[in-house]
Amino acid sequence: MAISYKSSGVDLDAAEAATKKISALAKSTFNAHVLNEIGLFAGFYEIDTKKYPEPVLVTSIDGVGTKLKIAFIMDIHDTVGQDLVNHCVNDIMTTGADPLAFTDYIGTLELQPEKIAAIIKGMSIACRENDCALIGGETAEMPGFYAPGEYDLAGSIFGIINKSDVINGSNVTPGDVLLGIPSNGLHTNGYSLARKVILEVNGISLDDYVAELSASWGEVLLKIHKSYKKAIELVRFLPGLHGISHITGGGIAGNTVRLLRAGLTLKIDWTAWIPLPEFQLLQQLGNISNAEMRRAFNLGIGLVLIVSQDSVDSIMNILKKNGEIVHVIGQVVKSDT
């Protein structure tokens, strides 16, 4: 029998079918700045130099991590696409930038068009919600590389900001206040620890209803990573906003300290809010120390704003008037070293 690419594990017909499904979903995110259809070797996005006379491009790349393992078990694949876009949007918007365009990478053992379409459907939903165009991507079928039924997922985003508007923490000073905006769950970090506690140590099924959560663990762990675009747009150019921290791997302290220059540190009031029930239950089930919980999880705070003392009230009022919940969770202080 003659050997073909398909017999080697790569189905070009399936790839073509997936591309057709992806193209329609991606096109739903396009705006007047997107200059080409999906299918070329690169995507084109025209910059509005009237809106951005001193343009600075801002870029980031990330993945969903082992949250994918939960998606595999639950056989739900659109939510991780939304997670990926929202995570990347949050990252670049900590600088004050506007998200413009997004590209993705999906690697898999066997290309299944319906599954790929579900992932891209989630991305397209999040791109539309974040005013960001999905202008390209890559889907790779790699026999012998991935486990059956599994895939890897990554995304790259670029945005834009005027140079004079960049937020980078350079104005952070001792006495600045930390304002925390809630998360809606684990977002996309801490899943290796969560899976170990739930699945390995306690042998809990993701389908089992948990009274303390009013849902199953599967439902809770697949909650979509929240986009903070609206909240950031409300305050990003206000006087007194000195820094924005997206709380991902490393927790509240590990991410927010990135914005501090030498000689400064954080004083966090860990009693200023009540951690979400999933974090409380994970800590109990795994007998996890407070220090480890604070490093691995966001604990219910997904975004931190560093604000001057005299701007706290005005910034909190604007956020609250627009439906955001805000907690005062600490301050910036001088370090002892």
Average pLDDT over residues 26-38: 86
Query: Per the structure block, which two tokens stand in for 272?
Result: 């200023």
Average pLDDT over residues 48-58: 96
Tell me, yes or no, whether 204 and 323 share the same domain.
yes
- Show the domain range for 233: 177-334
CATH code where residue 56 lies: 3.30.1330.10
Domain assignment of residue 3, yes or no: no
Tell me, yes or no, whether 110 and 255 share the same domain.
no
Tell me, yes or no, whether 191 and 154 share the same domain.
no
Tell me, yes or no, whether 140 and 200 share the same domain.
no
**Which of 165, 185, 200 is the last residue in one of the domains?**
165
pLDDT at 323: 97
| Domain tally, the chain | 2
List b or e across 302-317, with b for residues whose CB sees 16 or more CB atoms inside 10 angstroms.
bbbbbbbeebbeebbe
Tell me, yes or no, whether 151 and 77 share the same domain.
yes
Domain assignment of residue 29, yes or no: yes
Average pLDDT over residues 161-183: 97
pLDDT at 213: 97
Domain assignment of residue 287, yes or no: yes
Domain assignment of residue 172, yes or no: no
61-115 pLDDT, tens per residue?
Answer: 999 999 999 999 999 999 999 999 999 999 999 999 999 999 999 999 998 989 9
CATH code where residue 304 lies: 3.90.650.10
**Which of 130, 165, 200 is the last residue in one of the domains?**
165
Tell me, yes or no, whether 187 and 120 share the same domain.
no
Tell me, yes or no, whether 159 and 262 share the same domain.
no
pLDDT at 37: 78
Tell me, yes or no, whether 195 and 300 share the same domain.
yes
Domain assignment of residue 171, yes or no: no
236-270 pLDDT, tens per residue?
Answer: 999 999 999 999 999 999 999 999 999 999 999 99
Q: Would residue 285 be called left, alpha or beta, if left means φ above 0 and alpha means ψ between -120 and 50 degrees?
A: alpha
Cut 0.75: pTM above it:
yes
**Which of 131, 165, 199 is the last residue in one of the domains?**
165
Domain assignment of residue 160, yes or no: yes
Domain assignment of residue 170, yes or no: no
CB 251 within 8 A of CB 297: yes
pLDDT at 6: 60
Tell me, yes or no, whether 92 and 182 share the same domain.
no
Cα separation, 177 vs 267, whole angstroms: 10
Tell me, yes or no, whether 130 and 183 share the same domain.
no
CB 109 within 8 A of CB 146: yes
What is the total residue count of the chain? 337
